[in-house]
Chain A
């Protein structure tokens, strides 16, 4: 983790209430300031993850999202605004995040994660939060996080359901352990309320904060499955898959 200047008096005032969280304190806040988090895509999931991490005082965010703002983004992508329709999403996101936290260091990448750019981006960060809608992006992110030993928080949703788990490379089940191949029936467009994607995004942001600050117990090796239609939450103990590229089953 990079060493950044000590917390200023202004920062101590901004984050005062969260430094009261037992086990976090000023030390945890400094760790957030020192941290770099990569968020893949800034839609209904990733936009809220980035917003919560910016609010919490993470020092540097690397944000990857291609394309321009469309009307159909605006029911859930809280970093996108009507006045930015037709303009690059990444610029809208950067502008909104800096309104919230002008101290934030943002690396804005106007591309989606791919096998070509994943390694360079993951190598620079302490935690990855994966919110991409395509499995090709998720597999590229998973492989890069394994190569660089960077913890990965996996956020996913569909309709009123979500799935969330954390990967500790080489120790707990990775994305390919669960889904060795691209699901044949997955479609790019899916039913979504912003409040549902935002719910799992907040939980994903909490996972990132806990990983950085060493706080509490993460979902490493556990999958949280929720159906917000019935408000049923379940946890599943995940098994690393023998022969998977992550090597967790053999480790």
Chain B
């Protein structure tokens, strides 16, 4: 199945793209996607998303199909799902 991944702000700059399609096998869940992206992008992804223990940084918001979700819920992914990693920004 294809998952559409979107990045914002500093994370977008770090991974070098605003969005990409990730192919995953059926039955995969949100944590599997985070693991895949960590392998794919290395520190460019992980330093903005994960802490030193590999847990999600509190200042990252994950949205699945435009609904905020918790990584702890480990929601199942379906064909064509949209996942956005939203990093905290401020000011102007």
Contact = CB atoms under 8 A, between A and B. Distances in A.
B58 A196 contact: no
A135 B88 contact: yes
Contacts of A45: 91-92
Interface in A120-175: 131-135, 138, 155-159, 161-163, 173
B92 A159 contact: no
Given A184-B59, A185-B47, A234-B84, A155 B92 contact: yes
B92 A196 contact: yes
Interface in A187-217: 190, 192, 196-197, 200-201
Nearest to A193: B92
Interface residues of B, number: 26
B91 A236 contact: no
B74 interface: no
Interface in A25-47: 41, 43-45
A236 B86 contact: yes
Nearest to A230: B18
A contact residues, range = 35 or more
A97 B40 CA distance: 51
A185 B90 contact: no
B92 A157 contact: yes
A187 to B, nearest CB: 8
Contacts of A201: 92
A184 B11 CA distance: 13
Contacts of A159: 9, 13
A134 B90 contact: yes
Given A135-B90, A138-B90, A236-B68, A158 B9 contact: yes
Contacts of A179: 58-59, 61, 88
B53 interface: no
B78 interface: no
A225 B90 contact: no
Contacts of A157: 89, 91-92
Interface of A: 41, 43-45, 76, 131-135, 138, 155-159, 161-163, 173, 178-186, 190, 192, 196-197, 200-201, 223, 225, 227, 229-230, 234-239
